[in-house]
Amino acid sequence: MSNSFVAIDFETANSFRGSACEIGLARVVDGNVEARFESLIKPHDEHSQFDGINIGVHGLKESDVRDSPEFYQVWPDVRDFVGDLPLVAHNAAFDVRVLRELFHLYSIAVPPVRYYCTLVLSRQALDLVSYSLPFVALELGVSQDEHHRAGSDALCAAQIATALVEQSDHGDLEKLCESLRVTVGQFDGESWFSSRSKGSSGGGGDFNAARIEEIRSSMGEQLSEMVDPEGPLYGQRVAFTGGLSSMTRAEAAAKVLAAGGEPQAGVNKATNYLVIGTENGYTLDPRTATTAKFAKAEAFRAKGSPIEILDELTFSRML
């Protein structure tokens, strides 16, 4: 099977996944980038507000997309560009959710789609302190022009996918998934099966026991109804450092609980994720990330702990 696919990336105006304001595509045929497509998108009127955290990430504002086409107008070109090829995305759970929300929002018939996630594959193939796009790109020698712009991130994901295949003994992404025990994602109008590593584990953790119980109690019976056993934070221990720009620490802890995870007050050898919420945490970069807890996380990783660093945007998308 040839190593051919289309890498996709969306930027959104706000927390609603269907608020796409930009799309980027990069088509790879036999391991080579053959063509690129990108377009600004005017979000649907019901979800057109641009939130501060999103603007801070990609720099796009309502005025930038005011005269742009809506997704239903862009979709025919996207459909023709993709054809029958599978999709690739870094943190595909986010971009696939955006695509599915857009199909629903505009009553577009959902085609059958197979997809691969370079975030999941990188976690299995590489040993890094963070698997955000800049860290993985730097590790694999992939250049990146404008992180958090759809065209640039789609191209970067395409090159990461190609690099992961090239450094392995396998000729394409499907065989690479088989060797790394990663499922291939797929969805259609009836179902959605995510791309994830087989055999992920979870556990406990402690986050100021009194405070965490207070938050847990305040959520009441709704908590069990919220938990999604298939979610990426289910059973995971999550610690935080720095001030979060999109929520308070208590809100973040509640969201982790609602996702079936366990928030922690500090980093220890059992921590799965450390979320960096510094002022520019959403642009976490391997060349500038230097905090005490970051250093502590690296020290634990050196001793074999599974901790991974997340920026605030990645954490929000995982939620």
**pLDDT reported for residue 281:** 46
For residues 137 and 216, membership in a common domain is answered with no
Regarding whether 34 and 147 lie in a shared domain, the answer is yes
- Do 172 and 119 sit in the same domain of this protein? yes
- The total number of structural domains in the chain stands at 2
Q: What angle do CA 302, 307, 313 make, to 5 degrees?
A: 135
| Top-confidence residue, 3 or 242 | 3
Determine, yes or no, domain membership for 201.
no
Whether residue 213 sits in one domain with residue 185: no
Residues 147 and 175 in one domain: yes
Q: Is the pLDDT of residue 80 over 80?
A: yes
Label the pairing between strands 262-264 and 308-311.
unpaired
Q: Give the per-residue pLDDT at 221.
A: 60
Verify that 189 and 245 share a domain, yes or no.
no
Residue 289 has pLDDT above 60, yes or no: no
With bands split at pLDDT 50, 70 and 90, how would you rate the model's confidence at 22?
very high
- Indicate if 214 and 186 belong to the same structural domain: no
What would the mean pLDDT of 4-33 be, rounded to a whole number?
95
Report yes or no: 161 and 118 within 8 Å, Cβ to Cβ: yes
CATH number of the domain residue 93 falls in: 3.30.420.10
User: What confidence tier does 277 reach under pLDDT thresholds 50, 70, 90?
Assistant: confident
Task: Give the pLDDT of residue 144.
Answer: 78
What are the tens digits of pLDDT across the range 35-47? 999 999 999 999 9
Mean pLDDT, residues 150-178: 92
**152/216 same-domain check:** no
**Torsions phi, psi for 54 (to 5 deg):** -70, -40
Say if 290 falls within a structural domain.
yes
Residue type, 290: T
181 and 244 in a common domain: no
CA separation, residue 140 to residues 6, 99, 100, 126, 164 (Å): 19, 28, 30, 9, 8
Residue 223 pLDDT class (50, 70, 90 cuts): low
Quick: pLDDT tens for 100-159: 999 999 999 999 999 999 999 998 999 887 888 888 999 999 987 777 899 999 999 999
Beta-strand ranges (E) seen in the chain are 5-12, 20-29, 32-40, 87-89, 113-117, 185-187, 192-193, 237-241, 262-264, 273-276, 308-311
Instruction: Return contacts of 61-69, CB within 8 angstroms, 24+ apart.
Output: 62/13, 64/21, 64/40, 65/21, 65/22, 65/40, 65/41, 66/42, 67/42, 68/39, 68/40, 68/41, 68/42, 69/39, 69/41, 69/42
38 lies in which domain range? Answer: 5-193
Which range has the top average pLDDT, 20-34, 134-148, 268-282? 20-34
Comparing 76-80, 121-125, 198-202, 258-262, the range with the smallest average pLDDT is 198-202
87 shares a domain with 17: yes
Indicate if 213 and 185 belong to the same structural domain: no
Is 202 domain-assigned? Answer: no
Q: Which has more confidence, 292 or 166?
A: 166
pLDDT at 128: 83
Average pLDDT over residues 282-305: 73
- Are 185 and 220 within one domain? no
Does a structural domain hold residue 204? no
Per-residue pLDDT, averaged over 219-224, amounts to 61
Q: Is residue 128 part of a domain?
A: yes
Last-in-domain residue among 150, 165, 193? 193
| Domain end (from 193, 227, 254) | 193
pLDDT of residue 201: 39
Q: For residue 291, what are the β-bridge partners?
A: none
The pLDDT of residue 266 is 83
